[in-house]
Chain A
């Protein structure tokens, strides 16, 4: 097999090869990118814990549950620990600096969320002062906050009567050990919020948005969920107990057709690039007719001609695929923090995405190369030699 001919063919038209290569790089980058965005949107669901339940209002996402519910839920057999979780909805300096803040039972938080791993500060420090908070590492990095800093947060949902911002003392910085916990969250004492509301220093809804519960070892999940729901069936506020993954899924399903839309865009990109590569390969095939005729005249079998043309297409596409996946990998971190800033954690080019990109590159290479390869291998030597470019 004249393999060196294959390389020479690729380099025969350096401009065209380079242009096709570049457009392949762009296309496969885009496909990997879109796949990762769709993946990131559902990342919380995949990583969600099965042994953690969420109790929320069955009526509305925006209705809080009474504080009195907590001790009743604590009493349900199979429940190990409960923790209040209340959305705070504030921002730092400018509404564009969006990140999540939750008021929680400070002494129970790390018990129900073992994924919150402190890398600086300590739980003891967090418990010591009522205005203490824990912040994610990404959040600390983006605003330059350190343990011991006092951070002012402007309340969106909870406003202070005197118009001043809330202040929290950073007692610890955590790194989530799993994608279901966001690395850009601020956790603070529910008591701090509650007391500010009670003594009239602040205004806003009372109660707790949801209760997060961890289950005792060996507890029957379905039975526990049913027991809790039945407790409050006749009001005052009906509840809906779900697994954490089901809870996360409700936010994903809110996106409606967005994931489908992104998927079809990816399909459009692939289609366009397939056409472009096919175009290149057809052009190449036409130009090679004569030299293929010479090869055949020298006694090379048809399958050698076939292999040469399809090999050219495959090499080009695989190189392009590698380039595209490479760009996607190289930009993965930057894109990750970009989407993290919008409250979408979990963007990343995984092994699966990279493999998918390379697989599609292989496929495009095969499909684009096969038509000219078949045409050339079937051609009669006389016709090929007599052909004009």
Chain B
């Protein structure tokens, strides 16, 4: 059997061996000519190629589109308009009243996204923290509950949106339960407040497992001795939380906060599937505005959409830099 296994193994690796033999001589020649640095370039090239095709070139093209006008799709068909698209987006008499802005939908989406981020991120941090604190305790079925809370993270956002739409729609599961309980059914997704709350609740449900995991790792990194020392010091549980757990969890909380902020600004798929931006424009968020301006509206304006996405990208870059700074600071603290 061992002989057969070896033969099968050799057969399976045969194509790889052949490929390796084919590329070996030119690689050796290249290394002789360029040294180690040249070889590094060879090994990095596939990834750089993928990055260029799918990230760098689209980014540059996007920037180029943002400098053009008209409704043409191909860049060659679009006239150069300079920063006009940015000027259109930013032109406003009163920024607190979107209706006074030239692109009122953009500012409505900005306002909705800002409100969404404030409420959703706060809720996300609090719920994730409470869940992590509970899952960190020595409770029965701890592993099961950890898996349960993480499971929604594995779902596709579209699936999440559909599940909750079926639950919250007029003849959905929630209303069915309410009728069974003798309560009046509600038109959840047609009410501005409920629909907005639903997008917050659903996205929190869908992503909290990820943040819970980060906080759980932070909680588990706090040495048990510290809690025992606090126990010896007769420290009340509330004081243990505020004076020991929370400060030591600070770096993880900061990372969670910024990651949730970034993801909050980018909210699209599950909210779009759930409410489609409605009722009216009450759940129209920035990414949906960009998508609809560029691709889905009758009057497609790729230039405007590109400019809006560049502005959103700038906000995300700032948030990402903050996140990187916080991560490095946390690593620095751990190293000390």
Is the A/B pair a real complex? no
Which B residues lie at the A interface, using CB under 8 A?
A: none
Which A residues lie at the B interface, using CB under 8 A?
A: none
